[in-house]
Chains A and B, each alone.
Chain A
Amino acid sequence: MITKRYLMGAAAASLMAIAGSAFAGEALDRVMSNNVLKVATDANWPPQSFVNENNEMDGFDVDVARAIAERLGVGIEFVTPDWGVITAGRWNGRWDISVGSMTPTKERATVLDFPAVYYYTPNSLGVHEDSTATTPSDLSGKVVGATEATTYYYYLDHSLVIDGQDINFQIDPGEIRSYPSTAPGLDDLRLGDGVRLDGIIAGFPPLVKAIEDGYPIKIVGDPLFYEPLTVAIDRGDKEFNDKLAEIIEAMHEDGTLTEISLKWFNHDFTKGY
């Protein structure tokens, strides 16, 4: 199942690569004339984005998206396609922007534009409480999980490149198990040490959130790498890109982002490392 989904994602990506890209100014015009910003988010990724008690989208990314829409002076609407569909680009105007904690990788930059970094997350290794691992390298040769098409996955298969960071690949996993999102991986890990997984690479915030919610998990060692996270738009619309860069710059400066970060993470993740 997992492999199939992964292949599907790849098929989706290659299909999308055939199409053309957005024309200059088109996306910004569309947002302004429809008077609504259509945001692609994941509904399954607390605390960044999830469905809350009132069955509405909520979370850090969602709050950031709302703040952006407010500054553009337009309404907001959320859509929830698969992550792989978002990162594949060529959105054809289905939605205008992804505020989904996306890492600006070289591959993604061929189909998407990244107007601005809005925060940085540390990414860590989580293991079951009963695990004897004391450093990340203890997981070498073991079964380690990660969400497909994410930097966590690329960290495990040693293909991760982040501009301006030397990445020390401490884990050489025996098997990488990929998941459609973080939650099912955590569910596999909670079953017991080594039952299905020996460890999982995930963002520090979701790991902490899972532990708070009673998952029998602990975080091993220091963060493996820090990840600059950006909003993303379909490639080729310079006006929209510049407008968003300006808005996010202002949100960094006036403390809006810090405030949202403290609200959701109890840490200020907006300042880098």
Chain B
Amino acid sequence: MLYADTVESETLVHKPSFVVGMLLIFTALFTLFDLTESLFGHLMRPVIGEPSEAGFLGSLSVGFLVGLLLTINVVAIGFVRFRIQVLIVWAELFILFMAFFYGFDLNFEFIRSKIWFMVSQGLVTTLYVSALSITLAAMVAIVGAVAKLSSNGFAYAIASFYTSFFRGLPLLMQVYLIYLGLPQLGYVIDAIPAGILALTLCYGAYMTEIFRAGIQSIPKGQWEASRSLGFGFGLTMKRIILPQAFPLIIPPTGNQFIAMLKDSSLVSIIGVWELMFLARTLGSKDYRHLEMLVTAALIYWAMSICLELIQSKIERHFRTKSH
């Protein structure tokens, strides 16, 4: 809730005008979609007769039924507590989503035969490429942030050039530039190191800005107090500034990691056998791309959910610690 006040008001979804409006709109929508051929149409057989010959009245009555069910559902959810509302809506959306995928007519036997390889080869590669890249990027970022805040012209110029360049190019372009460009300088780089390097440099540039903002958010008085105690720059940073900046830096860094997990799919174009690459290739022999794409999509999603949970734990940890 943006702002929790104490004014008692009727729940929106229980206002009669809203309920009627909802019913009308749902009915109109589902009538337009014409669900007579669906499961609901067949359930309504006693009322509308043979679904395929039901015509407009048939689709209207099926539309009304589905609209009514949906409206009752919304009104009912309005009665329960917030947490339960969230749970029910999530569950319903999830079931709808699964039904949507189920409608693709996928071959589950094929998915079962490939899923272990997708996890053991694809997911593992995706995870270790991302984890290594985010660690290296954090190191780049801390150096970059200090340089960007420095009064030294060289350091500032190099750091700002770096962030400008690597934030200004598409990541896909960087992957190509590093994989194809570095060998021209005589250094032949393999696909996986090239991918890690590209992800590190790109995310390092974004994270430089995150680190810079985190360090800058510490009040000037902290620096002054530290200086007056005779602390040098390094000690001030290590003992005073960074410990206070980290609670601000870590949550967005976690976000970057989740984003990287998905962006790491770009390294599939240089032939790294990670999740996205396998999603594109494993189904090719039997022309079952959709199966593999849907599977990979669900794996990515499940992985992101896990990481989001960890992320919110970390955020809570720092929130309680800093206040």
Which positions in A face B, CB cutoff 8 Å? 4, 8, 11-12, 15-16, 18-19, 43-47, 50-53, 55, 58, 79-82, 85, 88, 90, 92-94, 183-184, 186-187, 209-210, 213-215
Among A8, A11, A51, A58, chain B packs the most CB atoms within 10 A around the CB of A51
Q: Can you list 7 pairs linking A and B with CB atoms under 8 Å apart?
A: A4-B172, A15-B177, A82-B270, A94-B188, A184-B289, A209-B287, A214-B287
Closest chain A CB from B96 CB (angstroms):
24
Q: Which of B12-20, B43-51, B242-250, B278-286 contacts A (4 or more CB under 8 A)?
A: B278-286
Per-residue CB contact flags for chain B residues 195-217 toward chain A (1 = under 8 Å, else 0) read 00000000000000000000000
State the B residues within 8 Å of A (CB).
113-114, 117, 121, 172-173, 176-177, 179-181, 183-184, 188, 190-191, 269-271, 273, 277-278, 280-282, 284-287, 289
* Alpha-carbon gap, A210 to B236, bound state (A): 66
Q: Judge whether A51 and B183 touch: CB under 8 Å.
A: no
CB distance from A180 to the nearest CB of B (A): 9
- Sorted nearest first, the 8 A-B pairs with minimum C-beta distance are A80-B271, A43-B281, A50-B285, A92-B183, A81-B271, A213-B287, A46-B285, A55-B117
B188 and A80 contact, CB distance less than 8 A: no
Contact between A85 and B180, CB atoms less than 8 A apart: yes
Closest A residue, CB atoms, query B270: A81
Chain B residues whose C-beta falls within 8 Å of the C-beta of A46 in the assembled complex? 284-285
A44–B284 touching, CB < 8 Å: yes
**Of all chain A residues, which has the CB nearest B181?**
A15
Additional A-B contacts beyond A11-B173, A44-B280, A88-B180 (13; CB < 8 A): A11-B176, A12-B180, A15-B180, A19-B183, A44-B281, A46-B285, A51-B282, A81-B270, A82-B270, A94-B183, A209-B287, A210-B287, A213-B287
The answer to whether A81 and B191 touch across the interface, beta carbons within 8 angstroms, is yes
Residues of chain B within 8 A of A215, CB atoms compared: 287
Distance from A151 Cβ to chain B, minimum over Cβ atoms (Å): 20
Q: Which of B191, B270, B289 lies in contact with A183, CB distance below 8 A?
A: B289
**From A55, which residue of chain B is reached at the shortest CB distance?**
B117
The residue on A at minimum CB distance from B177 is A15
Smallest distance from the beta carbon of B175 to chain A beta carbons, Å? 10
A43 pairs with B173, CB closer than 8 A: no
A214–B184 Cα distance when bound, in Å, is 45
List, in ascending order, chain B residues with CB within 8 A of A186's CB.
287
CB-defined contacts of A4 to chain B, threshold 8 Å:
172
Contact present for A53 and B113 (CB under 8 Å)? yes
Which A residue's beta carbon lies closest to that of B172? A8
The answer to whether B183 and A90 have CB atoms under 8 Å apart is yes
Q: Is the CB of B180 within 8 A of A16?
A: yes
Q: Which residues of B contact A18 (CB under 8 A)?
A: 184
List chain B residues, Cβ under 8 A from A11. Answer: 173, 176
B322 vs chain A, min Cβ distance (A): 44
State how many angstroms separate the Cβ of A145 from the closest Cβ of chain B: 16
Among A55, A90, A93, A210, the one with the most B-chain Cβ atoms within 10 Å of its Cβ is A55
A186 to B286, CA, bound (A): 13
Question: Which of B121, B172, B176, B285 has most chain A Cβ within 10 Å?
Answer: B285
Q: In the complex, what residue of chain A is closest to B282 when comparing beta carbons? A: A51
A88 contacts which chain B residues (CB < 8 A)?
180
